Amino acid sequence: MVNYKGKLALVTGASTGIGKLYAEELAARGSHVILTARSKEKLEVLANELSAKYGIRAYAMPADLSKPGAARLLAEQIAALGLNVNILINNAGFGTHGRFEEISSEREQDEIMLNVASVVEMTHLFLPYMQQQRDGIIVNVASLAAFQPSAYMAVYSATKAFVLSFSEALWAENQKSGVRILALCPGATQTEFFDVIGTMDAAGGAALSSPESVVKAGFRGVEHNRSYIVAGRMNYFAAQAHRFISRRRTALIMERMTRPKPVSADPSVTSAK
């Protein structure tokens, strides 16, 4: 069993959804937590709640990790408090949906910075201490989209494929270091993810999983020292589809599933959201 009591966990994207639940579960298991996201107010409310409920130390440290240098500044703020991170949950990220050429380049550059570059930099900043202690956990939140090219979410699925490959490679490198590294791959989940995108078309008609089930899968993957884990049995089968059909066929199936639905000209009829 992994011992979480008394450890210090850093959770990115901690103000809502999977990140918030991860912070709550870590606190419930006795970990002190550093909460980071862009929303200072939400983080402070959550930090106060976790401290009062579980008797742990909780720190609210707002940061926009899509900006260059933000991860290093966060690490410096943590070091200035004399703290060392034992557990890193790289959860912050967002998606875009629509034809590639119709999505602004700036938006997709921010997506790459947050989903990919910040994950790499945060891991660079906090992995060495864990290796020195021969004890640590890094969970990188990828996605079911990491396993197949997703039309109309081309950049998002590519960033998550990076996270999956990156995590599996570091898992192999660190087998003798005492550090457990996991890529957590949820499918469509009941979070604000689709609110940010602005449509449910990105879910491809899939039933939404609960964030609680996703976090539970993350803890299970760490317990078993897995390199990756797909949250949900049906999602697991979907992730293995490439074993049975060609990549070309997979890409075409995904195009049909995630194709934006036409908006009705009749104002009394609304598209799915």
Tokens of 119: 């994950």
Q: How big is the CA angle at 70 (ends 69 and 74), to the nearest 5 degrees?
A: 120
Q: Residue 162 has which token pair?
A: 């990076």
Burial class of residue 104 (count of CB atoms within 10 Å of its CB; 0-12, 13-18, 19+): exposed
Three-state DSSP at 90 gives strand
Domain that holds residue 126: 8-258
Q: 189 — phi, psi (to 5°)?
A: -130, 150
Q: What total number of domains does the chain contain?
A: 1
Tell me how far apart the alpha carbons of residues 10 and 239 are, in angstroms, rounded to a whole number.
28
Confidence of residue 29 (pLDDT cuts 50, 70, 90): very high
Quick check: is 180 in a domain? yes
Cβ contact 228:139 at 8 Å: no
Q: Which residue in 4, 152, 156, 228 is the catalytic one?
A: 156
Of residues 22 and 269, more confidence is placed in 22
In a domain, 272, yes or no: no
User: Distance between CA 96 and CA 120 in Å, rounded?
Assistant: 21
What pLDDT does residue 270 have? Answer: 31
pLDDT tier at 267 (50, 70, 90 boundaries)?
Answer: very low
The answer to whether the beta carbons of residues 22 and 47 sit under 8 Å apart is no
Q: Domain for residue 165, yes or no?
A: yes
Domain assignment present for residue 269? The answer is: no
Please answer whether residues 202 and 152 qualify as being in contact, where contact means their C-beta atoms are separated by less than 8 angstroms. yes
Average pLDDT on 163-174 reads 98
Give the pLDDT score at 249: 80
- The answer as to whether 270 is a domain residue is no
Half-sphere exposure of 41 (CA within 13 A, CB side): 0
CATH assignment of the domain containing 22: 3.40.50.720
Residue 142 belongs to some domain of the structure: yes
Reported as a single tens digit per residue, the pLDDT across 69-99 is 999 999 999 999 999 999 999 999 999 999 9
In contact, 92 and 114? CB cutoff 8 Å = yes
pLDDT tens track for 13-28: 999 999 999 999 999 9
| Catalytic residue flag (residue 156) | yes
Global pTM reads 0.88
Say if strands 87-90 and 58-60 run parallel, antiparallel, or are unpaired. unpaired
Predicted local confidence at residue 268, as pLDDT: 38
Q: Which residues contact 89 (CB under 8 A, 6 or more apart)?
A: 9, 10, 11, 12, 19, 22, 23, 26, 139, 141
Question: Is residue 1, in this structure, part of any structural domain at all?
Answer: no
Residue 193 lies in a domain: yes
Give me the DSSP letters along 255-271. HHHHPPPPPPSSTTS--
Mean pLDDT of the chain: 89
Helix locations, the chain, DSSP H: 17-28, 40-54, 70-80, 105-112, 118-133, 154-173, 193-197, 211-223, 233-239, 247-258
The pLDDT assigned to 248 comes to 84
Whose structure tokens read 């990140």? 19
